[in-house]
Structure 1
Amino acid sequence: GSSFLYGYNLSVVNAPAAFIKKFYNETWERRYGFSVDESTLTLLWSITVSIFAIGGLVGAIIVTPIVKFFGRKCTLLLNNVFAVTAALLMSLSLLAGSFEMLILGRVIMGVDAGISLSALPMYLSEISPKEIRGSLGQVTAIFICIGVFSGQVLGLPEIFGQESRWPYLFGAIIVPSLIQVVILPFLPESPRYLLLEKHNTSKAEKAFQTFLGKDDVSHEVEEVLAESQVQRNTKLVSVLQLLRTRAVRWQVITVVITMGCYQLCGLNAIWYYTNSIFSEAGINHKTIPYVTLSTGAVETVAAVFSGLVIERLGRRPLLIGGFGLMVVFFAVLTVSLTLQKTVHWLPYLSIFCILAIIASFCIGPGGIPFVLTGEFFQQSQRPAAFMTAGTVNWLSNFAVGLLFPFIQGGLQTYCFLVFAAICFAGATYLFFVLPETKNKTFHEISLAFAKRNKVSLEMQEMNHCSGERKSSAEQESNFTSSVDNGETKKGIV
């Protein structure tokens, strides 16, 4: 439900755009006695669409103290308060004759999305065995795609894509929220959170037993304790502390670059061009909404495919390959759009390129950045890491919405070369820097970055724990005997 709502709210405003603008104009005329001018109407609509990203930024910023205090599962549960509140405001705006309610609802919905896109990958990465951590992490991307597709389907004229029914599009948000409210209380909290932050071994064991479906979870408990014994006597680090930590410097840089490329790679520009390209291909205007469903379907299929193969192929080839393919198809699309009025079959090549770019994005860049953010950092650093990644994500999202019209106006069809350059730069960086994290523990991933961070393996192992073969009882004994007046002695290592 969490990432589904993010995807749904990305696409839900497209179908009723004309009806909402008419509602804005009628409301303005009723209040002030004259019609709103075109520039003001465009500004109001732009604010309605882009302010979702501002709400997302707020959610990303406040998520760290929330997940620390309430835990991962309870944060996702309580987050539905934002979703239901936003749904009520947006769906009742027409009845109340207030477009401000719709804009405020978009802000609150953005807060919900900002929290969920940090708390959900964090929760999934912490409950997953390392053998399926990538596949389960891709669930975030899969349900974003399903959400986008659902918004397209419900926006069809036969369903809610009519002037009298568009408020139902926003009211539908309540359904997945209520499903979450009913189901989430029956799921355990993250066992890593219970063990390392709440120091509740019995509840952590029960959580592991529920998730893994077996009674003997001593190995899993020992593995978590071995990963970070010292950390049990440390507090969660702040974003500033994370940025100053030399041992994770390149992990932070990699997350910032992958999250930046995730938003700046040009997929939003693709959505902007879709209708015009379909029109150029000779598709009837009335049938374009149905043809557009193919983009949502391709997104979903590609995301599911990525989830199925990520543990076989690994994160690195999917991420680099996805960006690389986007470079190729952006280049072909630029040529096709530039020459499509001279060759009759080129518009169909443009349609193929659009679908290929969407598929390339969803195979790798669409979900793996969230997986990597969960894998790169130890327990005490993870909330701050997701806050950093979320901030970059939403700022980049807002930048694209703000700057793309100017880029498109200045470069026309050549604007896609800008996005091709961003994808190429991202793929090049990842080729030289990103290690493969498939089937590795958090400790092993940290060691893979040790040389690049110019941190000795010994120091890196002091930040984690090297006693992976010790029993849980021995670890507890060593931890207790090695702490004196809040200071950790050398004997712990």
Structure 2
Amino acid sequence: MQHASHNSKYILGISFISALGGYLFGFDFAVISGALPFLQQQFGLSAYWEGFATGCLALGAIAGCLVAGGIADRYGRKMGLLLAAVIFGLSSLAMACAPDRNLFIAGRFVAGIGVGMASMLSPMYIAEVSPAHLRGRMVAINQLTVVIGILITNLVNYSLRNNGPDAWRWMFGLGIIPSAIFLGGAVWLPESPRWLTKVGRIAEATAILEKIGDVDHARISMAGIRQSQETDHTRTGFKAIVQESVLPAVVIGVVLAVFQQLCGINVVFNYTPRIFASIGVSQSEQLLQTVFLGVVNLVFTIVAMLLVDKLGRKPLMLFGAGGLAILYVIVVSMLGQGSTHVSWYLMAAIGVYAMSLAPVTWVLISEIFPNRIRAVASSVAVLSLWAAYFILVFTFPVLFEKFKDNTFYIYATICLLGFVFIWFKIKETKGKTLEELEGFIAGH
């Protein structure tokens, strides 16, 4: 193992700034929940249009994922993060000023492009700059900023609830503030040393590695990076990910990404008002529930950060899949009785998800792919995640209108299937360098 020392403050600083893309992801993800009751009145949304207005963020995110890998490989990880920040800011203003439903949806689609780019690039960048023993915790910072974004956005939505029919415009327009902070911070970020090495800028890569750790860290890391890149000169485009040597890792990444969404928890985040309205809770109380869920989400994400490099990835993933399956069955019972106590079980579900599937999926996606295909394979996995998110949030209003509380049985079944997949297919990755994981994953 390495005996180099590491500059933990510097690593934490650049990881946190990169992870501000996660904050904006959390903003765009959560703002729709508080805005939907106002948008329904403003634009007369049916169940179909309610689902599409929510889910079109994912369609934009798919487009963002498709371009992010190419930008990251050609121009660097940093350039992709800067571009995502600009897109976030412009789309926030566009949504706030939208005069009709179609232009609002167009603005939300553009916001999704920024979300998709950041959701892929932020974890990948953090994984590439972090030493092996810190990588899980540092990548989980991205999920921490996501949930901070969700919580702060829910608090803002709640504070704006009595500001008249145009309150939703303020909800979306305020996104310009975190966008500007992210843009300013991203300018300061160093480029990924693994990307710099890939394009032949060895001296710059070495200098950054010496800032991350020390001379020994730079020497050991450069040896591993260059060996990994020099021993494989195959193509790195989309054709590369279907090669026999890397296809198992790609399939695992895609299945995990899809499962993280189809497990169903994001309908609780996006449709909290609708779920509580079904049992007669007032609009003000509905928005207050989103705040409670956001607090639970934040607390248990911090718990996950403390555990991911100690307990490992697989135990947390198994806990998440099994725990959600059980809790969903209880939620069906509570909703069927019209009990407001369902909020406790929904908060428990959020807590289980926040300390397992939410952060650990991103950690695994950022580390299981070989260096040479990491950008394009991450694009495919995160693209699959957003496609699954669109299916989830687009179908929920229609399913809930037809099946009511029994809709959660569908998600419980998916969670059981996910548990089986994780049990048999996921290998533990904690404590290994990205280069060590190439042979480890390929061996399975």
After TM superposition, list the pairs within 5 Å mapping 1:108-127 onto structure 2. 108-127=110-129
> What's the counterpart of residue 333 of structure 2?
335
> What's the counterpart of residue 220 of structure 1?
221
> What's the counterpart of residue 307 of structure 2?
309
> What's the counterpart of residue 357 of structure 1?
349
After TM superposition, list the pairs within 5 Å mapping 1:317-332 onto structure 2. 317-332=315-330
Once residues 443 and 221 of structure 1 are traced to their aligned partners in structure 2, the CA distance between those partners, rounded to angstroms, is 11
Task: Look up the equivalent residue of 2:225 and give its one-letter code.
Answer: V
Identity, % of aligned positions: 24
Once residues 388 and 354 of structure 1 are traced to their aligned partners in structure 2, the CA distance between those partners, rounded to angstroms, is 31
Q: 2:258 aligns with which of 255, 260, 268?
A: 260
Once residues 60 and 272 of structure 1 are traced to their aligned partners in structure 2, the CA distance between those partners, rounded to angstroms, is 22
Once residues 217 and 123 of structure 2 are traced to their aligned partners in structure 1, the CA distance between those partners, rounded to angstroms, is 26
Q: Measured at CA, do residues 288 and 84 of structure 1 come closer, stay the same or move farther in structure 2, by a change above 3 Å?
A: closer
- 2:74 corresponds to 1:69: yes
- Say if 2:51 and 2:395, in contact at 8 Å, map to a contact too: no
Once residues 88 and 332 of structure 2 are traced to their aligned partners in structure 1, the CA distance between those partners, rounded to angstroms, is 39
- 2:12 corresponds to 1:20: no
Once residues 107 and 61 of structure 1 are traced to their aligned partners in structure 2, the CA distance between those partners, rounded to angstroms, is 14
Q: Secondary structure at the match of 1:360?
A: helix
> What's the counterpart of residue 206 of structure 1?
207
Superposed CA deviations along residues 451-480 of structure 1, whole A, max 9, x for unmatched, are 44xxxxxxxxxxxxxxxxxxxxxxxxxxxx
Shift of 1:413: 1.9
Once residues 214 and 154 of structure 1 are traced to their aligned partners in structure 2, the CA distance between those partners, rounded to angstroms, is 46
Q: Measured at CA, do residues 378 and 161 of structure 1 come closer, stay the same or move farther in structure 2, by a change above 3 Å?
A: farther
Q: Measured at CA, do residues 419 and 163 of structure 1 come closer, stay the same or move farther in structure 2, by a change above 3 Å?
A: same
Q: Secondary structure at the match of 1:366?
A: helix
Q: 1:371 aligns with which of 363, 388, 405?
A: 363
Q: Secondary structure at the match of 1:132?
A: helix
Q: Measured at CA, do residues 412 and 277 of structure 1 come closer, stay the same or move farther in structure 2, by a change above 3 Å?
A: closer
Once residues 451 and 213 of structure 1 are traced to their aligned partners in structure 2, the CA distance between those partners, rounded to angstroms, is 32
Task: Look up the equivalent residue of 2:207 and give its one-letter code.
Answer: K
Once residues 63 and 202 of structure 1 are traced to their aligned partners in structure 2, the CA distance between those partners, rounded to angstroms, is 26
Superposed CA deviations along residues 6-57 of structure 1, whole A, max 9, x for unmatched, are 11111112223233334336xxxxxxxxxxxx75xx5544432221111111
Q: Note the aligned Cα RMSD (angstroms).
A: 2.3
- Say if 1:259 and 1:369, in contact at 8 Å, map to a contact too: yes
> What's the counterpart of residue 457 of structure 1?
none
Shift of 1:277: 6.0
Greater shift, 329-338 or 363-372, is seen at: 329-338
Shift of 1:287: 3.3
Structure 2 runs not aligned, ≥5 long: 1-19
Structure 1 runs not aligned, ≥5 long: 26-37, 453-493
Q: Measured at CA, do residues 22 and 116 of structure 1 come closer, stay the same or move farther in structure 2, by a change above 3 Å?
A: same
Once residues 273 and 185 of structure 1 are traced to their aligned partners in structure 2, the CA distance between those partners, rounded to angstroms, is 36
> What's the counterpart of residue 146 of structure 1?
148
Task: Look up the equivalent residue of 2:70 and give its one-letter code.
Answer: P
Superposed CA deviations along residues 171-218 of structure 1, whole A, max 9, x for unmatched, are 2111122112222222210011111x2111110011112233668622
- Say if 1:16 and 1:162, in contact at 8 Å, map to a contact too: no
Shift of 1:324: 1.1
> What's the counterpart of residue 384 of structure 1?
376
- Say if 1:15 and 1:161, in contact at 8 Å, map to a contact too: no
- Say if 2:23 and 2:149, in contact at 8 Å, map to a contact too: yes
- Say if 1:280 and 1:347, in contact at 8 Å, map to a contact too: no
> What's the counterpart of residue 5 of structure 1?
24
Superposed CA deviations along residues 103-160 of structure 1, whole A, max 9, x for unmatched, are 2210110000111111111101100100011001111211111111122111114578
> What's the counterpart of residue 230 of structure 1?
231
- Say if 2:33 and 2:272, in contact at 8 Å, map to a contact too: no
Q: Measured at CA, do residues 405 and 287 of structure 1 come closer, stay the same or move farther in structure 2, by a change above 3 Å?
A: closer
Shift of 1:394: 1.3
Shift of 1:246: 1.1
> What's the counterpart of residue 294 of structure 1?
292
> What's the counterpart of residue 403 of structure 1?
395
- Say if 2:97 and 2:169, in contact at 8 Å, map to a contact too: yes
Superposed CA deviations along residues 296-324 of structure 1, whole A, max 9, x for unmatched, are 11011111110111111101111111111
Q: Measured at CA, do residues 90 and 275 of structure 1 come closer, stay the same or move farther in structure 2, by a change above 3 Å?
A: closer
Task: Look up the equivalent residue of 1:412 and give its one-letter code.
Answer: K
Task: Look up the equivalent residue of 1:255 and give its one-letter code.
Answer: G
- Say if 1:160 and 1:169, in contact at 8 Å, map to a contact too: no
> What's the counterpart of residue 471 of structure 1?
none
Task: Look up the equivalent residue of 2:238 and give its one-letter code.
Answer: V
Once residues 148 and 309 of structure 1 are traced to their aligned partners in structure 2, the CA distance between those partners, rounded to angstroms, is 22
Q: Measured at CA, do residues 331 and 46 of structure 1 come closer, stay the same or move farther in structure 2, by a change above 3 Å?
A: closer
- Say if 1:83 and 1:112, in contact at 8 Å, map to a contact too: yes
Task: Look up the equivalent residue of 1:9 and give its one-letter code.
Answer: D
> What's the counterpart of residue 4 of structure 2?
none
Greater shift, 263-272 or 174-183, is seen at: 263-272
Once residues 118 and 274 of structure 2 are traced to their aligned partners in structure 1, the CA distance between those partners, rounded to angstroms, is 33
The TM-score with structure 1 as length reference comes to: 0.80
Shift of 1:281: 7.6
Q: Secondary structure at the match of 1:228?
A: helix
Shift of 1:291: 3.3
Once residues 352 and 77 of structure 1 are traced to their aligned partners in structure 2, the CA distance between those partners, rounded to angstroms, is 40
- Say if 2:52 and 2:394, in contact at 8 Å, map to a contact too: no
Shift of 1:225: 2.0
Superposed CA deviations along residues 343-386 of structure 1, whole A, max 9, x for unmatched, are xxx542x2221011111111111021221122111221101111
- Say if 2:143 and 2:359, in contact at 8 Å, map to a contact too: yes
